[in-house]
Amino acid sequence: MRFSPASDETHLATLNNWDIKTLMKTLLQISPGSSVRVVNFDGGINLRSKLTQYGIYPGDQLRLLRRAPLGGPLLVECNEREIALGRGIADKIFVEFDS
């Protein structure tokens, strides 16, 4: 069965939030040294506000520098700045690998 671009777009438009979460990786799931692009955030206005204060926006390139041991924060590089993000916040940032 062939799919036309219109039917592919329709199919993507019908994906619910749960489907998107299962198809994408979060910042918490990538390994140190990886470079990724921010796709979206899974949170409300407070999360978006906090990430905006850090200077992280959808479309930005991030590089995971390291993970602190024992459940500590992740250190990421974004726009030539190093930012420490807690694991709870990192788990709400959806990313895709650079191509």
Domains assigned to the chain: 24-97 (2.30.30.90)
pLDDT greater at residue 5 or residue 77:
77
Give the pLDDT confidence of 13-54 residue by residue, as tens digits.
Answer: 445 555 555 668 999 999 999 999 999 998 889 999 999 999
Residues 64-87: what's their mean pLDDT?
Answer: 94
Give the pLDDT confidence of 76-96 residue by residue, as tens digits.
Answer: 999 999 999 999 999 999 999
Q: How far apart are CA 5 and CA 61, in angstroms?
A: 28
pLDDT on residue 24: 82
Q: How far apart are CA 24 and CA 54, in angstroms?
A: 23
Helix, strand, coil percent values for the chain (each to nearest 5): 35, 30, 35
